[in-house]
């Protein structure tokens, strides 16, 4: 390897997150420089935060020396990928491990985006106040500086577990239904915030039994004009009567009022009409950024779609993946069908993998996503919306007032899944775990240190921090209550996915 390592800092598209995170990005960059110097090597900074694809192309495209990207807040995948694609020079993605400044989220998304274009990279992370004191981190960094790559323990990446006859029968029934009528995903816009790893396209979708129909997000505005005032008022009365607690007009969110919620319900009803018109089975909703100055955020509508209890319900959830992420949408629809065939509640929840820590000898992940968690997680009662809180989305990011669909997820056994592309093929990761109830003090600290307005799930995913950080190919995960891992393995295999069962322990 070259004696000089170039350090670059990818960023968000939006100025505000970059400005807020600038001190953390600078601190992480200095940590990396100090760690490299401690190992007797030299580094050089790439000037400026890359906040557009063209900046990545122009600043990184001509560098053939080893590159290290610093991930200390949310960043867009193309702000790395477009500058390094087509090269095979050593590339390292380095992250802090913080929920407040979620560099790990940006690292996971970028790593998955790189896989979409067959660009290999290594990963490294640390939660230490001084990275030079983190022995595991320093050993990995030294290995990368010497070899240009880091090898990680793969013990937790397992073949699917044994499938019982009963589980196979459930999978066969769901498979027959999917082949009799191919599920149709209504895609509202393209992937969100540079998440190119979340779009598979019709060629790959067709191979695993799905179809898509794209609708421009502008249709939400146009169709919303035709949603009558009485329908909106009926929907508003419904969510109030079923138990949603609205935090309207609180200090700092004075513009969030009942009319803001009504506008979110207008969008819900407009999309519901589109689902009916196209006979769609599930929804991928772009969420950001195109309508961000024109419409309220879609969180409340997306939470309703992932709930049975919702205005004008047909008695079903309509699986909705925020950020138009097909990597979550496909397993959400599959898991929903398996749950129904098993006689379990059909809600599947969409989450970010935001952070995690050791709690009583277990590594607990904080799953926290602003949209697409349905009410069942908060109450285990399909008939109500009790436990749902709606807070104004932070105005620094969402100029038009609108509320979230938040709550604390109840404890219970879960299954999780994620679809992704690796070496040009569709894969499905699956695993078992449990939602846990944290002590109130710990819960409140975790929630407050991340994003208090968003839905909260504390979960043991059956894998450690290092397993997930080294191997997981997304920052998103689909979660359902109940053990349906065997059925998901059988159905995924039959549909043509390569399947990994991810678990640190056997079973």
Q: Where a domain ends, among 113, 147, 181?
A: 147
Considering the domain boundaries, does residue 195 fall inside one? yes
Q: Are residues 196 and 110 in the same domain?
A: no
Q: Are residues 185 and 299 in the same domain?
A: yes
- Give the pLDDT of residue 1: 64
Q: Are residues 92 and 207 in the same domain?
A: no
Task: Give the long-range contacts of residues 136-144, CB within 8 A, separation 24 or more.
Answer: 137/35, 138/35, 138/38, 138/39, 141/35, 141/36, 141/39, 141/92, 142/39, 144/90, 144/92
- Give the pLDDT of residue 265: 98
Q: Are residues 174 and 138 in the same domain?
A: no
Domain of residue 70 covers: 4-147
Task: Note whether 378 and 408 are within 8 A (CB).
Answer: yes
Q: Are residues 141 and 226 in the same domain?
A: no
Q: Where a domain ends, among 114, 147, 180?
A: 147
- Give the pLDDT of residue 2: 74
Tally of CA atoms within 13 A in the half-sphere of 72 that contains its CB: 22
Residues sharing a CB contact under 8 Å with residue 198, sequence separation 6 or more, in sequence order: 191, 192, 323, 324, 325, 326, 327, 328, 474, 476
Our separate counts of H helices and E strands in the chain read 16, 19
Q: Is 439 helix (H, G, I), strand (E, B) or coil?
A: coil
How many CB atoms neighbour CB 305 within 10 A? Answer: 27
Q: Are residues 123 and 206 in the same domain?
A: no
- Give the pLDDT of residue 193: 82
> How many structural domains compose the chain?
2
Q: Where a domain ends, among 95, 116, 147?
A: 147
Q: What residues in the chain have per-residue pLDDT under 70?
A: 1, 507
**What is the distance between the alpha carbons of residues 169 and 4, in angstroms, rounded to a whole number?**
58
What CATH number does residue 489 fall under? 3.40.275.10
Q: Are residues 369 and 246 in the same domain?
A: yes
């Amino acid at each position: 390897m070259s004696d000089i390592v170039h350090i670059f800092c990818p960023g968000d598209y939006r100025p505000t997150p970059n400005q807020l995170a600038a001190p953390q990005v600078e601190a992480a960059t200095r940590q990396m420089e100090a760690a490299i110097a401690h190992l007797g090597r030299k580094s050089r900074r790439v000037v400026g935060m890359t906040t557009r694809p063209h900046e990545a192309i122009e600043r990184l495209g001509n560098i053939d020396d080893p590159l290290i990207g610093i991930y200390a807040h949310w960043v867009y995948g193309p702000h790395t990928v477009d500058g390094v694609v087509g090269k095979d020079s050593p590339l390292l993605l380095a992250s802090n491990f913080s929920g407040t400044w979620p560099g790990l989220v940006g690292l996971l998304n970028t790593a998955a985006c790189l896989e979409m274009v067959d660009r290999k990279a290594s990963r490294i992370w640390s939660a230490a106040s001084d990275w030079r004191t983190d022995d595991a981190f320093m050993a990995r960094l030294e290995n990368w500086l010497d070899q240009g790559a880091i090898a990680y323990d793969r013990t937790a990446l397992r073949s699917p577990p044994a499938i019982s006859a009963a589980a196979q029968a459930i999978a066969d029934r769901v498979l027959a239904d999917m082949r009799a009528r191919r599920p149709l995903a209504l895609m509202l816009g393209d992937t969100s915030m540079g998440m190119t790893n979340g779009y598979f396209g019709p060629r790959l979708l067709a191979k695993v039994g799905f179809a898509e129909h794209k609708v421009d997000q502008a249709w939400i505005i146009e169709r919303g004009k035709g949603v009558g005032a009485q329908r909106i008022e009926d929907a508003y009365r419904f969510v109030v009567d079923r138990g949603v607690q609205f935090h309207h007009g609180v200090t700092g969110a004075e513009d969030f009022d009942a009319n803001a919620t009504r506008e979110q319900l207008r969008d819900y009803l407009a999309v519901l009409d589109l689902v009916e018109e196209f006979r769609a089975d599930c929804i991928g909703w772009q969420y950001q950024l195109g309508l961000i100055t024109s419409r309220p955020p879609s969180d409340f509508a997306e939470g309703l779609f992932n709930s049975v209890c919702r205005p004008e319900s047909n008695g079903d959830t309509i699986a909705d993946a925020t950020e138009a992420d097909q990597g979550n949408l496909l397993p959400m629809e599959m898991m929903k069908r398996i749950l129904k065939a098993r006689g379990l509640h059909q809600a599947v929840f969409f989450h970010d993998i935001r952070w995690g820590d050791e709690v009583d000898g277990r590594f607990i992940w904080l799953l926290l996503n602003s949209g697409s968690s349905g009410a069942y997680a908060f109450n285990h009662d399909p008939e109500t919306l009790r436990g749902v809180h709606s807070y104004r989305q932070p105005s620094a990011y969402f100029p038009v007032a609108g509320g979230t669909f938040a709550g604390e997820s109840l404890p219970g056994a879960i299954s999780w899944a994620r679809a992704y592309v690796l070496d040009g093929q569709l894969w499905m990761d699956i695993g078992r775990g449990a939602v846990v109830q944290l002590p109130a003090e710990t819960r409140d600290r975790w929630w407050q240190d991340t994003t208090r307005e968003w839905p909260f799930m504390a979960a043991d995913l059956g894998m450690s921090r290092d397993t997930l950080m080294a191997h997981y190919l997304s920052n998103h995960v689909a979660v359902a209550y109940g053990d349906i891992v065997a059925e998901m393995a059988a159905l995924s295999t039959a549909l043509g996915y390569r399947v990994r069962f991810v678990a640190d322990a056997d079973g």
